[in-house]
């Protein structure tokens, strides 16, 4: 693997982006890496803060949309298009990395010959990283599409993890065309459904700002089932027939996503793609 391109979409985050960028340069940035910040036409002082960061860290690349595209996915696509490296780490402009964590994750991903890798824990905090309110802790090792269709709490919804450019291409890029915070969930689903091998590294984590209504939290309060069903449409052949019927039923189509933990969407036994099987056989044993 070559260097890492850190991709950071930004919108009206003047008070948080400096801490997010500094966490990259705190033992997570190495020679050959780059940081790409994409301002989605912010209306506050975000662009001025970004330019000051560019003065502090010459390796920062600054891009700006001419108009607000309204999603983190759009910024991530712009950043990945401009990236010089084939290994991508997406970090939101209000989140914070642990010192020295990213390159451990990169090694874990490389050792397991994976296409995507996530930290094992999201630590939600208020105001400062010392005020962690709660955590999402994921199962370690291999993470499958069936796992993702059985729960809400997995790395996909946050969008803050490492992956290869090739897995982004095979997933048809980040999904800019669904509303709310479901764009990150959609991309993770499409990665897994198109054969990406994702692993989760135990004993690691990053800090995710909480205490306000993020796009993902707001989205969970609304009816997301129809939007999420649109994401699954290309992959219905992988889902059991009775579950497809449920997804399209009068009872299910407006509520299935809200109840995914109690009623997972189940895959057919034959749903594992040949290229994913090949990756599994070629990979070395997943570390526990």
pLDDT for residue 274:
44
Give yes or no for residue 222 having a pLDDT over 70.
Answer: no
Q: Look at 179 and 184; give whichever has higher pLDDT.
A: 184
Among 206, 215, 212, 228, CA closest to 89: 206
Indicate whether 189 pLDDT > 70: yes
Is the pLDDT at 255 greater than 70? The verdict is: yes
pLDDT of residue 281: 43
Mean pLDDT of the chain: 91
Contacts of 130 (CB under 8 A, 6+ apart): none
- Token pair, residue 264, equals 């997972």
Determine the Cα–Cα distance for residues 98 and 239; give it in Å rounded to an integer.
38
Q: What is the largest CA-CA distance in the chain?
A: 57
| pLDDT tens-digit map of 38-75 | 999 999 999 999 999 999 999 999 999 999 998 999 99
Sequence-ordered list of residues with C-beta below 8 angstroms from that of 276, at least 6 positions apart, any chain: 195, 196, 197
- Three-class SS state of 2: coil
Neighbours of 136 (CB within 10 A): 18
Model confidence band, residue 127 (pLDDT cutoffs 50, 70, 90)? confident
**3-state SS assignment for residue 25:** helix
The predicted model gives 200-221 an average pLDDT of 73
Once rounded to an integer, what is the mean pLDDT over residues 157-167?
Answer: 97
The full set of domain ranges for the chain reads: 1-94, 95-216+273-288
* For residue 218, pLDDT beyond 60: no
Taking phi over 0 as left and psi of -120 to 50 as alpha, with beta for the rest, 61 belongs to beta
Distance CA 146, CA 56 (A): 44
Band of pLDDT at residue 277, cut at 50, 70 and 90: very low
Closest CA to 72 of 87, 90, 98: 90
Q: Radius of gyration (Cα) for the chain, nearest Å?
A: 18
**pLDDT > 50? residue 286:** no
- Assigned token pair, 284: 């070395």
Provide the whole-model pTM: 0.91
Asked if pLDDT for residue 184 goes beyond 80, the answer is: yes
Alpha-carbon distances, residue 203 vs 28, 101, 156, 288 (angstroms):
17, 10, 18, 10
Specify the pLDDT at position 210: 84
Q: ∠ CA(234), CA(8), CA(15), 5° rounding?
A: 130
Percent of the chain with pLDDT over 70: 89
The pLDDT of residue 288 is 43
Query: What's the CATH fold of domain 1-94?
Result: Spore Coat Polysaccharide Biosynthesis Protein SpsA; Chain A (3.90.550)
- Range with the poorest average pLDDT among 4-18, 96-110, 135-149, 261-275: 261-275
Tell me if 202 sits within 8 A of 105, measured CB to CB.
no
pLDDT for residue 284: 41
How sure is the predictor about 272, in pLDDT bands with cuts at 50, 70 and 90? low
């Amino acid at each position: 693997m070559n260097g890492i391109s850190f991709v950071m979409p930004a919108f009206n985050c003047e008070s948080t982006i400096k801490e997010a960028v500094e966490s990259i340069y705190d033992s997570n940035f190495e020679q050959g890496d780059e940081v790409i910040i994409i301002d989605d036409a912010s209306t506050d002082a975000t662009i001025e803060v970004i330019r000051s960061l560019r003065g502090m860290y010459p390796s920062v690349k600054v891009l700006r949309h001419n108009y607000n595209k309204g999603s983190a996915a759009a910024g991530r696509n712009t950043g990945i298009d401009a990236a010089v490296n084939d290994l991508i780490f997406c970090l939101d402009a209000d989140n914070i990395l642990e010192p020295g964590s990213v390159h451990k994750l990169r090694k874990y991903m490389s050792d397991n010959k994976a296409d995507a890798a996530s930290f094992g824990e999201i630590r939600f905090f208020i105001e400062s990283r010392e005020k962690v309110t709660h955590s999402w802790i994921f199962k370690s090792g291999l993470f499958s599409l069936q796992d993702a269709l059985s729960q809400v709490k997995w790395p996909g919804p946050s969008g803050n993890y490492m992956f290869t450019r090739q897995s982004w291409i095979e997933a048809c890029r980040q999904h800019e065309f669904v509303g709310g915070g479901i764009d990150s969930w959609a991309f993770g689903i499409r990665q897994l459904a198109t054969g990406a091998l994702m692993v989760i590294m135990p004993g690691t984590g990053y800090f995710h700002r909480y205490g306000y209504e993020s796009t993902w939290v707001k989205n969970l309060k609304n009816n997301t089932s129809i939007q999420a069903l649109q994401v699954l449409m290309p992959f219905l052949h992988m889902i059991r027939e009775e579950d497809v019927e449920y997804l399209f039923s009068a009872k299910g189509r407006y509520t299935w996503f809200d109840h995914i933990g109690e009623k997972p969407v189940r895959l057919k036994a034959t749903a594992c793609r040949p290229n994913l099987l090949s990756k599994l056989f070629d990979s070395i044993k997943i570390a526990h």
